[in-house]
Amino acid sequence: MRVKLILPALTEAKSPLFRPIKYSLFPPLGLATLAAFLDDDDVVELVDDHVEVLSLDDTPDLVVIQVYITNAYRAYAIADHYRAAGCRVVLGGLHVTSLPDEAAQHADTIFLGPGEDTFPQFLADLRAGSPKPRYVSRGKRSIQGLPPVRRDLIKRNRYLVPNSIVVTRGCPQHCDFCYKDAFFGGGRSFYTQRVEEALAEIERLPGRHLYFLDDHLLGSPTFAAELFSGLSGMGRLFQGAATVDSILRGDLIERAAEAGLRSLFVGFETFDPANLAASNKKQNLAKDYAAVAKRLSDLGIMINGSFVFGMDADDADVFDRTVDWAVEHGITTATFHIQTPYPGTRLFAALASAGRLTTRDWDLYDTRHVVYEPARLTANALKAGYDKAYRDFYGWQNIARAAAAHGGARHRAKHFFYAAGWKKFEPLWDLVIKAQRLGVMTPMLEAVLSKVTRDDNGSGESFGETIGSRAAVSPPAVSAPVENA
């Protein structure tokens, strides 16, 4: 059987505001995971529309397309093309689960929820000649004992972070604005691999750097502690995401730092308790955000802070207050969002019921556009404040001020080079991406990551010596923050 797996490009990736480096970060692991269930004699192609040209001249037996909200229209067009050519087309992903009836108009089969337990059954039905139009993931889900991800299908040289990995599914929290509850509805919403399986996959990855794409790497303290214990001594550098409360609780974050954690995506989202309560983000209520920033900074862990603008308690001062706090507390990179009510979430249902949605053009649901009526701001003021927050936070003066918030000179240097390199050298990133030479950025970026646990009085090589030595020996494994603009 000839099988083609496609990740259509997000709409924003094709816009005039396109930052190529954003969409060259991570390979499509979800599709590579599904590919592992195919037979050895199947002819398989995986195409990521963000980093390569998608040809539509072929006629595979099976076309598998992953659908997000802002690639939905492109995904549907691709699906319609292949169906007209006589190919069997199946769709899955967040948007399909949220709006199955919409997606079903463009597919022979749709998948709702995680695909690990439904895709194998579909393949069995397909080979038996009786595929169903809809497969729904329910009950006690598991990712234990899965076949290894088909990383041989991934074109590593086209990604800045080819060593991305996922060792858990979902998140134990239930925020109203998050897709997760809709996607995992009807079954377990947070579960993990076996630690030994996760470590075995890590062992198979070349290079030093890893990026855990899990929604909440610390979501299971027992699993995380065992994972970090296994990682200790492996010489890895890794990044991930965690919640405010998990960073403050116990010594798990120290274990992570010892094992090689070098930067963390942290969902601060909002400083207003009313916003937190209204969003059901209970894990942030009554938590000391400054203590989170200090604890991570003291461990030498860089912070990619996530902040949401446009919640109902936000007024015109929210933008400046947020940027000032982030700079003052040494946040290395920031991901700002305009609150976006994704279909299938409780936020979407509430705003729709109140008549506050202003559009259902999914191309605009990218956290950069205002798609609802804000409570205390105009839509224009919200958009303008969001844009200004990015400009202000990544201004040279604020990059330097945020770097100066750290205690050690090496940490300050690391912060400055990391933040500036991410936002201030777009032409260089574009050139390297077009030449398909992202690996040449490895030595400097990996050196920046490798120094985060050193303090001014620590032993070991200097920052410059580290760059020089690793430039000669480091394999192509690097890192960058994930952000919106």
pLDDT digits over 332-384, tens only?
999 999 999 999 999 999 999 999 999 999 999 999 999 999 999 999 999 99
Taking 70 as the threshold, does the pLDDT of residue 161 lie above it? yes
Query: With pLDDT > 90 as the criterion, what percentage of the chain qualifies?
Result: 72
Taking 90 as the threshold, does the pLDDT of residue 153 lie above it? yes
User: What Å distances lie between residue 11 and 2, 105, 162, 430, 478, CA to CA?
Assistant: 28, 20, 22, 19, 26
Taking 50 as the threshold, does the pLDDT of residue 474 lie above it? no
More confident residue, 468 or 244: 244
Average pLDDT over residues 462-473: 28
Average pLDDT over residues 223-228: 98
Taking 70 as the threshold, does the pLDDT of residue 464 lie above it? no
- What's the pLDDT score for residue 390? 96
Query: With pLDDT > 70 as the criterion, what percentage of the chain qualifies?
Result: 90
C-alpha 471/C-alpha 461 separation (Å) is: 14
Mean pLDDT for all residues in the chain: 88
- How far from chain centre, in Å, is Cα 190? 17
CATH of domain 163-409: 3.20.20.70
Which of these ranges, 67-71, 322-326, 436-440, 461-465, has the smallest mean pLDDT? Answer: 461-465
- What's the pLDDT score for residue 445? 65
- What's the pLDDT score for residue 21? 79
pLDDT digits over 102-111, tens only?
999 999 999 9
Taking 90 as the threshold, does the pLDDT of residue 96 lie above it? yes
Average pLDDT over residues 136-154: 95
- In the chain, residues under CATH classification 3.20.20.70 are 163-409
C-alpha 253/C-alpha 461 separation (Å) is: 25
Average pLDDT over residues 248-260: 96
More confident residue, 68 or 422: 68
Place 286 in a pLDDT band, splitting at 50, 70 and 90: low
Place 276 in a pLDDT band, splitting at 50, 70 and 90: confident
> H or E element: which one contains 304?
strand 302-309
- In the chain, residues under CATH classification 3.40.50.280 are 2-136
State the first-to-last Cα distance of the chain, in angstroms, to the nearest integer. 40
Taking 60 as the threshold, does the pLDDT of residue 467 lie above it? no
Closest-CA residue to 478 (of 441, 435, 451): 441
Q: Are strands 88-92 and 62-66 parallel, antiparallel or unpaired?
A: parallel
Architecture of domain 2-136: 3-Layer(aba) Sandwich (3.40)
More confident residue, 46 or 11: 46
Tally Cβ neighbours within 10 Å of residue 128. Answer: 8
- What are the tokens at 298? 């003291």
CB–CB of 326/393 below 8 Å?
yes
Taking 50 as the threshold, does the pLDDT of residue 458 lie above it? no
- What's the pLDDT score for residue 283? 74
Sheet of strand 302-309, all strands in order from the earlier edge strand to the far edge? 164-165, 209-212, 237-242, 261-269, 302-309, 333-338
Place 18 in a pLDDT band, splitting at 50, 70 and 90: low
465 φψ region: left (φ > 0), alpha (ψ -120 to 50), beta (else): alpha
More confident residue, 407 or 228: 228
Which of these ranges, 159-168, 191-200, 359-368, 476-485, has the smallest mean pLDDT? Answer: 476-485
pLDDT digits over 391-450, tens only?
999 999 999 999 999 988 888 998 998 899 888 887 788 888 778 777 777 666 677 777
Place 477 in a pLDDT band, splitting at 50, 70 and 90: very low
- What's the pLDDT score for residue 423? 86
Which of these ranges, 193-207, 231-245, 268-282, has the smallest mean pLDDT? Answer: 268-282
- What are the tokens at 217? 């790497």
Average pLDDT over residues 255-267: 95
- What's the pLDDT score for residue 459? 33
